[in-house]
Amino acid sequence: MNLRLRADVSTAETDYGVVLLDQRSGDFWQLNPSAALAVRHLLGGGGPERAAAALNAEFEVTPEEALRDVRELLEQLQAAGLVVS
């Protein structure tokens, strides 16, 4: 999976995850630590399965829950127009 943030979406690390800022609209999204980890893996070239494995290793979540959560997060990022393939 070749996923990247849109050119006009910026990120900022926070004490509690990552903030994504859509510079066109001014909208922002606060990603908690688990969502931030998943997004890092997705943007790093890993697919949903790799991101889910990272969540499963880091947090108390089953592999099935992790994969479901990653897929839902990916759908939300795509629906918001924050990422492109």
Annotation: CATH topology of 4-84: Arc Repressor Mutant, subunit A (1.10.10)
The pLDDT of residue 85 is 85
Q: What gap in Å lies between CA 52 and CA 33, rounded to an integer? A: 13
pLDDT of residue 2: 85
Residues 55-82: tens digit of each pLDDT = 999 999 999 999 999 999 999 999 999 9
Per DSSP, the three-state class of 66 is helix
Domain ranges of the chain: 4-84
User: What pLDDT, in 10s, does the model give residues 21-48?
Assistant: 999 999 999 999 999 999 999 999 989 9
C-alpha 60: how far from its chain's center?
18
d(CA 58, CA 75): 22
pLDDT of residue 78: 95
